[in-house]
Amino acid sequence: MSFTLRWKNPNVISTVVKIYRDVKDITPSALPEPIATLSNGETEWRDTTATPGATYYYLLTVTANGKTVASSSQKYTIEIKRGIGPMTILNGNDRLGFMGAVPYDEQWLPSQMPQAFLAMFPNLLTDRVALYKFTRNGKIYYMLSNTSQFPNTPVDWASLYQAGLVYGTGDAGPENGHGTLPATPQDAKIVHKGDTYIMRLPRGLTTSSESPAYPFVADYNGKTHDEIASLTNPCEYNDLLYTMVNEVPKKQRWANWAANSYTYLGQGTLGTTAPYFGGGVLCMEHDTAEDRVLHRGIFNNAGGTPVSMIQRINYLSPTTKGRYYPIFELVE
């Protein structure tokens, strides 16, 4: 557990900041030993020894030109705060849980989104970015909650990769994970209120312990997830996107967190000129045997039940356009 102190330092000359902590009120005339001494112009410090639930008093002194000034003693109770938004699980548990909407005043601004994303969707975001918060396998995730802020222009995997928006790894992604595309750092992120959020694609078949670049299984292509008995491991698409719409596949693990139309994930009654036709929802996975990527769901004119359209597994060219739903993952 950690607790971060932040302050302003308007001094233009060299200063030394000492930080004091105690479990009782601190007075400048009876200071304990400092817990930290800073001399490089820092304006924040993280107390990594703070205990959750404990109450501490902090006091700072600033020394410049031989003169020392003390702050007042400030009392803080250390609460566990993981990212913006609520900390209570409304549905599920820490393995897979819905935590609700991020309050408006905690949401980040459109200008904080990666510049590559804003270049692709220049007119999409006109207000703060509305988000729902989740916990999954002990990690914290966010998804866009306002359908008017869903990316509304068809985009392809290749363009997202070249914009650094696919893997969220900070490097070029896994070995053989970008086909013929030039290696591009996958470093899209948002820095907000002292935390960093990786921006990436959802995994459509693999788990977090598996590489998203691997030889695709030919037998899965064109099938619905429910009809493949060997696919038993849950993935992000099934856990977070199935539950975004009003259909419920057999392998869905928990209750829907929204009741949007299934047509956000797939549709079988479209004309050939419709946006997304022939594609699905863009996922992270890349085939290492052929230059193909994974889409889940399908947009076509072949009919099919709504619940089958949102499950579909498709291996497509990296330049095939589809729907794009980013995931934001808290870095801890």
- Integer distance in angstroms from the first to the last C-alpha of the chain? 10
Summarised one tens digit per residue, pLDDT across range 140-171 is 999 999 999 999 999 999 999 999 999 999 99
- How do 213-214 and 281-287 pair as beta strands? parallel
pLDDT at 13: 87
Q: What is the pLDDT of residue 12?
A: 78
**What is each CA distance from 170 to 165, 174, 183, 274, in whole angstroms?**
10, 11, 12, 35
Going from N- to C-terminal start, the domains of the chain cover 3-77, 105-129+151-330
Q: Which CATH architecture has domain 3-77?
A: Sandwich (2.60)
The Cα-based distances of 40 to 4, 18, 20, 21, 49 in angstroms read: 17, 12, 18, 20, 22
Count of alpha carbons within 13 angstroms of residue 61, beta-carbon side: 20
- The CA distance from 77 to 165, in Å, is 37
Residue 1's pLDDT is 59
With beta carbons less than 8 A apart as the criterion, state whether 234 and 249 touch: no
What pLDDT was estimated at residue 57? 97
Q: How big is the chain, counted in residues?
A: 332
Query: What's the pLDDT score for residue 320?
Result: 98
Q: Which residues of the chain register pLDDT less than 50?
A: none
- What does the alpha-carbon distance between residue 180 and residue 157 come to, in Å, rounded to a whole number? 12
Phi, psi of 311 (to 5 degrees): -90, -20
